[in-house]
A = this chain, B = another copy of it.
Amino acid sequence: MTAVPDVFHASQAAWHGGGPELVQLLTPEGERVEHPGITLDLGDAAQEAEAIRGFYRDMVLTRRIDTEATALQRHGELGIWAQLLGQEAAQIGSGRALRPQDFVFPTYREHGVAYCRGVDPLDLLGLFRGVDHGRWDPADHNFGLYTIVIGAQTLHAVGYAMGVQRDGAVGTGDEDRDTAVLAYFGDGASSQGDVNESFVFGASYHTPVVFFCQNNQWAISEPIERQSRIPLYQRALGFGFPGVRVDGNDVLATYAVTQAALQRAREGQGPTFIEAYTYRMGAHTTTDDPTRYRLNDDLERWKLRDPIERVRVYLVRNGLADEAFFAEIEDEAARMGEHLRAGCKALGDPDPRGIFDLVYAEQTPELAAQRDEFAAYLASFEEVAR
């Protein structure tokens, strides 16, 4: 066999093991550590403690939303639910780094981010219950509707960011004006043409967008290795913008990295790719059966890296939270559960006659006629019933 010329190995060497290490600021054991080049900026010590307690609270509530919705699905109140168990830190850390004017493009699993954006978690249930395709107003929360077609939303994010540029809302130095766009997607999505095109467009126009990939190691039954043989964050380098791998189970690191990336975007420094290294502790959705394709070992290992537990340990060990604090959050979570249980059952079916009016902004005579025919058809049954 011909010897392989070195030039290939040289370029391979550039990525093998290259690039920055996993960014971590809080270990699974709850110890604060530092990472070169990354600062956690949460104000003075008191403010920082307050913020971390806030993250803790957010994560606990997010987990409750998730377990409650899972239970509602088991009870037949939802058709399906996409669980986020294990991804609370990735979502809260990134979601809390946003400013109000920033805009978010989620997948179907960003319940924690939705919560950060002020979307009533109850409103998330409509889609999974089958009473709507998304019931919150994106403009009210700067939080787009859930996108089910894998990866499609990443292009929307870049386009939105192009609009932001045209509005002159980048790099002005005005904190309340400069706007970043945050696009969520999964490790599986990284294989889609659309996602890679979003990198091309994002880089080409130097848009204020942050690509936030929750690498939860699985795309339904397929492990990350099927999508990429190298760490995903390195994908960005080939498109000409930075990629960072952060411990997605570390809410502090995720917050710090996302905050910095969003700030780069707002300042006009272009896109950043963040790979939040995490794990999908639950099934893909409530209809999935992960025992068919993965071993329990992995799950057990990842349990030790629980995103919530490490913050609790940190707070307790450093005397930053007392029993009352935790009890209060438990109460709050219980109220959230109650809110969801009661609210979900009250989410009524839409009037089927209504669908005809939602297709276009300007109704067509054809659809209006179809609506009338259908209404008459329904009425004929009602007459019979009477």
Query: Which A residues fall within an 8 A CB radius of B?
Result: 1-2, 4-12, 14-15, 18-20, 23, 35-39, 41, 173, 190-194, 196-197, 200, 203-204, 206, 225-230, 233-244, 256-257, 260-261, 263-264, 267, 269, 272
* Nearest CB in chain B to that of A171: its residue: B1
**Chain B residues with CB below 8 A from A241, complex form:** 12
* Nearest CB in chain B to that of A243: its residue: B11
Are A242 and B197 touching (Cβ within 8 A)?
Answer: no
**Chain B residues with CB below 8 A from A173, complex form:** 1
**Chain B residues with CB below 8 A from A36, complex form:** 6-7
A14 to chain B, nearest CB (A): 6
A126 to chain B, nearest CB (A): 31
Are A263 and B11 touching (Cβ within 8 A)?
Answer: no
A38 and B15 CA atoms in complex are apart in Å by 20
* Nearest CB in chain B to that of A270: its residue: B229
Chain A contact residues: helix, strand, loop or mixed:
helix
Are B237 and A7 touching (Cβ within 8 A)?
Answer: no
A32 and B27 CA atoms in complex are apart in Å by 56
**Chain B residues with CB below 8 A from A197, complex form:** 191-193, 196
A15 and B14 CA atoms in complex are apart in Å by 8
A204 and B187 CA atoms in complex are apart in Å by 14
| From B11, B39, B228, B269, contact of A239 by CB (8 A) | B228
* Nearest CB in chain B to that of A233: its residue: B11
**Chain B residues with CB below 8 A from A227, complex form:** 200, 204
A97 and B260 CA atoms in complex are apart in Å by 48
Are B229 and A203 touching (Cβ within 8 A)?
Answer: yes
A7 and B35 CA atoms in complex are apart in Å by 9
A191-B197, A192-B197, A235-B239 given; A8·B244 CB < 8 A: yes
Are B5 and A240 touching (Cβ within 8 A)?
Answer: no
Can you list 10 A-B pairs with a CB-CB distance of less than 8 A? A4-B269, A5-B39, A7-B35, A7-B36, A7-B38, A11-B236, A11-B243, A14-B19, A14-B237, A192-B193
Are B238 and A5 touching (Cβ within 8 A)?
Answer: no
A188 to chain B, nearest CB (A): 11
Central interface residue in A11, A35, A193, A261, by most chain B CB within 10 Å:
A11
